[in-house]
Structure 1
């Protein structure tokens, strides 16, 4: 055994982030166990034959293995000279370190000059499926790494669907970037692209440079090409500039500045189209901006900013957005601070909106502060105080404005056990209004409203062991009861600033509130009854859940906005059923007892084979939503159709108007090293006319084609296509 000191520099840094190999890949990433390397500069040599001249040289022959602190070398023959400082090996040489494995004809290492040279090589990156060949690889501790006549691909050996070839690739010492010269990109054996020079990252650190372009087409934009440029300004700052060419609209510039600090993070987005070439657009200069920040001011204080704006109502419809969709009617503009302790929560914010389209002007809360205090007075008696101070303003000069101050102390007696829960609450709800600009209205300049509220709630859980489908299971029966009383006070002299009527489901029946906001608090004298039944398997997994409930009014409602003119509410019911390991059903419905008419319902039936394989049929019905009836049916599907093929689709149809609302079809081929995706879609454009009304008869359609070459910026992509194609998809159940 020959021991001496030697120096071996790392051959290549990681060229790409590690990725999980696909099951159908013929090439599997190699691994390397760093524990086999020596320590303290030792060199260990094993061979069949050895001839050693002390302090001069050593010759090794037959299954030679050389282990150092940096790498492991295997060869047919090896010669070590200069007291271990020079190593030369030849004949089926294998060189491996934590970054790379190289097979070559010979390797020449000089630790004095810190140079390494490998001839006629085949290399594979450790932990990654990338591999290639090079006529010569030289490593110099001073200058770096040079590969001559080199190739690279992530495809299986002998089945190179794509490949990069270059006359030279060099990586300077200490640099995070490599340089390639005379680079050709091949599909099969056909050269399709040439670059005389380009630079590329050789580590997982962020690097300045071009990102992959995004190419799509639609009837709204024409051919749409976006080319992002990433600028790594500092370790905690970066900027992405994305020129976007649209053949139907012109050239748009998109930008995103991001920052990360010890106390928070945020981003600034600006998009600008100086001149829209589309004749349907009345706006020449079009823009969108967003400022977002979330951070800590101190241990208990937080700062939140979300400020958005755009040039016109049709900006998102025509040009799209990464933050909003064409169905949104408001853009947020909020600035707030928050304070949190175990017993006290406080928030203060300025809440404004950018309104899209012809929608009623929304009141701005400038400012709005909320405080909640919690305390345990005794073991069974709790105190909770909710308070709020807000000033509501409106852009309309004729609209009333108001200062609102609300305080609601609550005493509660909670009692919780495994078998159920009992709760008694008593609250005083005091709200003060100072209203201005009310001369031509029925509102009062000053209102002080004080209400009392009493709530009694209880539920019990009964369980019974039984057999279900031949398996041991548990059936539960969980009745719920609530009595709610709220005193009455006339409220017609109070404006509606942040209040609207809520829709109820089974859980909403026990909410005790008819409205969002505080401008209307309904008088109540009612009993709510409900029951839930669950079927649990031996692993406590829910197989079946059914809930039903209804409110019974003991006296007539006097607050007009609540509109409770019946003896009882609609019956609300929900059903979730795991029919089998693959079939799941969900339905919820609300039926009025007087007319036995369905007011709202939704139904979903889903077959799910695995994470990426599912088919869902759904139907949604609302008898009256803002004066319109909703009656829609939808089909969503995602399914692998062959070993390398996957498709995703969705289709929604309006049964009232007998027309499609949206259709999407995506088809993708994916192998180990590349993928191609084609997507076709058609949907309502939802453009606004000059009066601000939304058109309901115009459609936008488009087709996009995308190539992904893994190892040079791409990654497994079927999941992202599934998420795009299943936009709006929700699992149809709440089973645990």
Structure 2
């Protein structure tokens, strides 16, 4: 039987501030049947039987269902009293709306005040992980929800590792915070902490408050405790203030301020120590970083990144979220860009903060680049690339220069689905005005004009084949390039932004041996290469193998060129092989054409049992890196060692010096409601002495600890320890790359 009454039924406030739980930890709850809900302002009652008494009382019994616009109540018995304007229910009561589910012994609803009360309840949140019990739950349309003598946990009912027990929890409508009174925190059944009062956010909006602390230790700074404090200043401004205490160094304050407007975004990071007790003079130390990206108009954009630190050892001693121990330069760049259909302009100021005893780097103050497409036809394009740069150096005695470069280019492109051809001819004109050229072989005024011709073509052939019993498509993609660049002596030009580039397979067809424009090598060469792929019907790439080499038709006369006394470049090869669904391999190598020795190589082999279990071994080799031979081998692994337990490790060893360069191991316990990470690492400090020379023999080791209760502001996953801790981990093969 069904009866309609025009009453309003209030329902629970959203607990939406907690983090989402892992899906496997949530117990499925039937969603509300929307068709069973009532229209706005109505209550719909269904029951096996109903008894009416003088049109004042209505008694319902047997599978009673009471529905309003947003929620349902199920019970064995219910009564509506029109005199007292109350609805009561009893017997296996189940209340459910879109946010929570409640089981109760009895229920009382005041139809005039829209207040509902349930006693001896058990509840579970539906949009996030959370459950518990309450002696009494009171719901009110205007006052919100109050839970008395309540417990809360994000753990499943059969494994309640932790819980909060409180005398009262209140959640008010349109309030950003809920309040908890007389809270006791339990681990298992043991009380470990008490708070007479605290508040917590009840919406998904950002709220000011304490974030999870970070605790770790190191030989460099001792025991470190960081307590981030989040300040939600405005919807588009916020700050994170992090006091840090280190037993061996003292107190540090770290600040991050972020801003967002309709067209601009950026951040200011500042770290400061008034006194470092581990330095001889108790020196103050600091680091700051400014970043900004913005759109001034539809076509004009601005970007900035500015970094500065107090001393060379700041990152080594105190760590950094933005740089690591191997970095030698901190960027200082401000750029203004214009972007349109046929004109691109970029004006930038580029400077560097040099870390340690490294050659002083030239800064470009400013550097302006302009690309203009004069004409674009179906088969013929004409464009101009130009640059203007002013190079300065902090060391006053070094040469300085103004450089103007103009390069008009005429190109003839031709594309089809199976082939590509490109013919280009360019004029490269560069003018220099150089200062401080005394006692050098540099000229004050230099003008250099070169001609360049490039012919490039590639084709793609396919055939059906089988590979270990699989039907695949094999491609054969030969490519060839002829490149000619005229010669002019460039010994009278300084090196301002020029370094030699490494030639991997893609670099063979780059046509450049140097970054920058200070050296443009003369070329008369042919580059040949071939790539073959194995692709399945779904488009997944099972294997990619490339091989290429440059053949020199004449000797090079630019002295800085790497090519000397040889008519061929090193043979470059690359291999990405998805051997099976679990085994993948990668190889990148350059082999000298003169002595057939490997000049550079990187090789890795990975076995992946599933997403959480893998092991990767690798080796990297460089025959000559600034006069030093590099040969390092390492292993990276991640493995589930028991239920909810994950182990990760990383170890690299220098084979020439017969010593470790990096060691890392970590364990993580990850349950439905809490997680624990313990990591240990040891690495070379790379610390600088007073002269800026870097130590290559000192080690630093430390331990890190991270503990989180899920549902209390942070979740976790088993892969996070691998992704966050093993920052050097990469898959050796990426599908379709």
Q: Deviations over 1:371-391 (max 9, x none)?
A: 112355432101221111111
Residues 54/690 of structure 1: CA separation in 2 closer, same or farther (3 Å cut): farther
Task: Give the superposition deviation at 1:223.
Answer: 1.2
Does residue 510 of the first structure (1) align with residue 505 of the second (2)?
Answer: no
1:706 & 1:156 partners in 2: Cα distance? 22
Q: Secondary structure at the match of 2:12?
A: coil
Task: Give the superposition deviation at 1:104.
Answer: 1.0
Q: Deviations over 1:561-613 (max 9, x none)?
A: 11422211111112222211111111122111221221111111111222222
Does residue 725 of the first structure (1) align with residue 725 of the second (2)?
Answer: yes
Task: Give the superposition deviation at 1:539.
Answer: 2.9
Q: Map 1:337-416 to 2 at 5 A.
A: 337-374=336-373, 376-416=375-415
Task: Give the superposition deviation at 1:29.
Answer: 5.8
2:153 & 2:30 partners in 1: Cα distance? 15
2:209 & 2:245 partners in 1: Cα distance? 19
Give the match for residue 207 of structure 1.
207
Give the match for residue 285 of structure 1.
284
1:105 & 1:654 partners in 2: Cα distance? 69
1:276 & 1:611 partners in 2: Cα distance? 44
Q: Map 1:416-455 to 2 at 5 A.
A: 416-455=415-454
Give the match for residue 162 of structure 1.
162
Give the match for residue 6 of structure 1.
7
Q: Secondary structure at the match of 1:562?
A: coil
Does residue 109 of the first structure (1) align with residue 109 of the second (2)?
Answer: yes
Give the match for residue 688 of structure 1.
688
Give the match for residue 270 of structure 1.
270
1:234 & 1:33 partners in 2: Cα distance? 39
TM-score, scaled relative to structure 1? 0.97
Give the match for residue 697 of structure 1.
697
- Provide structure 1 residue ranges, at least 5 long, that are not aligned to the other structure: none
1:83 & 1:682 partners in 2: Cα distance? 77
Give the match for residue 582 of structure 2.
582
Q: Deviations over 1:610-655 (max 9, x none)?
A: 2222111000000111121110001001121222111111000001
1:630 & 1:30 partners in 2: Cα distance? 61
Contact 2:544 2:577 in 1 (8 A): yes
Q: Deviations over 1:542-576 (max 9, x none)?
A: 22222111111111111111142221111111222
Task: Give the superposition deviation at 1:255.
Answer: 0.8
Task: Give the superposition deviation at 1:33.
Answer: 4.9
Task: Give the superposition deviation at 1:196.
Answer: 1.3
Residues 283/431 of structure 1: CA separation in 2 closer, same or farther (3 Å cut): farther
Q: Secondary structure at the match of 1:718?
A: coil
Q: Secondary structure at the match of 1:120?
A: strand
Q: Secondary structure at the match of 1:489?
A: coil
Does residue 195 of the first structure (1) align with residue 213 of the second (2)?
Answer: no
Contact 1:135 1:149 in 2 (8 A): yes
Give the match for residue 304 of structure 2.
305
Task: Give the superposition deviation at 1:159.
Answer: 2.1
Q: Deviations over 1:51-89 (max 9, x none)?
A: 234663322122211001132111122122338953221
Q: Map 1:106-255 to 2 at 5 A.
A: 106-255=106-255
Residues 255/483 of structure 1: CA separation in 2 closer, same or farther (3 Å cut): same
2:97 & 2:232 partners in 1: Cα distance? 30
2:145 & 2:185 partners in 1: Cα distance? 22
- Root-mean-square deviation (CA, aligned residues, Å) is 1.7
2:222 & 2:254 partners in 1: Cα distance? 18
Q: Map 1:453-464 to 2 at 5 A.
A: 453-464=452-463
Give the match for residue 90 of structure 1.
90
1:561 & 1:283 partners in 2: Cα distance? 46
1:31 & 1:119 partners in 2: Cα distance? 23
Contact 1:30 1:128 in 2 (8 A): no
Give the match for residue 635 of structure 2.
635
1:717 & 1:538 partners in 2: Cα distance? 33
Q: Deviations over 1:639-698 (max 9, x none)?
A: 212221111110000011100000111111111111222111111111111111110111
TM-score, scaled relative to structure 2? 0.97
Contact 1:652 1:662 in 2 (8 A): yes
Contact 2:634 2:653 in 1 (8 A): yes
Contact 2:19 2:714 in 1 (8 A): no
Contact 1:22 1:672 in 2 (8 A): no
1:338 & 1:54 partners in 2: Cα distance? 82
Give the match for residue 77 of structure 1.
77
Task: Give the superposition deviation at 1:233.
Answer: 0.8
- Higher mean alpha-carbon deviation, 327-336 vs 712-721, is at 712-721
Does residue 259 of the first structure (1) align with residue 275 of the second (2)?
Answer: no
Q: Secondary structure at the match of 2:382?
A: strand
1:28 & 1:212 partners in 2: Cα distance? 29
Residues 3/426 of structure 1: CA separation in 2 closer, same or farther (3 Å cut): same
2:598 & 2:673 partners in 1: Cα distance? 53
Contact 1:29 1:129 in 2 (8 A): no
Residues 32/255 of structure 1: CA separation in 2 closer, same or farther (3 Å cut): farther
Contact 2:18 2:712 in 1 (8 A): no
Q: Secondary structure at the match of 2:89?
A: strand
Give the match for residue 488 of structure 2.
489
Runs of 4+ in 1 over 6 A off after TM superposition: none
Count of residues paired in the alignment: 734
Q: Deviations over 1:499-529 (max 9, x none)?
A: 0111101111111001000011001111111
Contact 1:385 1:407 in 2 (8 A): yes
Q: Deviations over 1:188-225 (max 9, x none)?
A: 00011111111111111111111111111111121111
Does residue 611 of the first structure (1) align with residue 631 of the second (2)?
Answer: no
Q: Secondary structure at the match of 2:316?
A: helix
Q: Secondary structure at the match of 2:3?
A: coil
1:439 & 1:646 partners in 2: Cα distance? 64
Does residue 540 of the first structure (1) align with residue 539 of the second (2)?
Answer: yes
Q: Secondary structure at the match of 1:695?
A: coil
Residues 30/62 of structure 1: CA separation in 2 closer, same or farther (3 Å cut): closer
1:173 & 1:540 partners in 2: Cα distance? 52
- Provide structure 2 residue ranges, at least 5 long, that are not aligned to the other structure: none
Does residue 662 of the first structure (1) align with residue 678 of the second (2)?
Answer: no
Task: Give the superposition deviation at 1:366.
Answer: 0.8
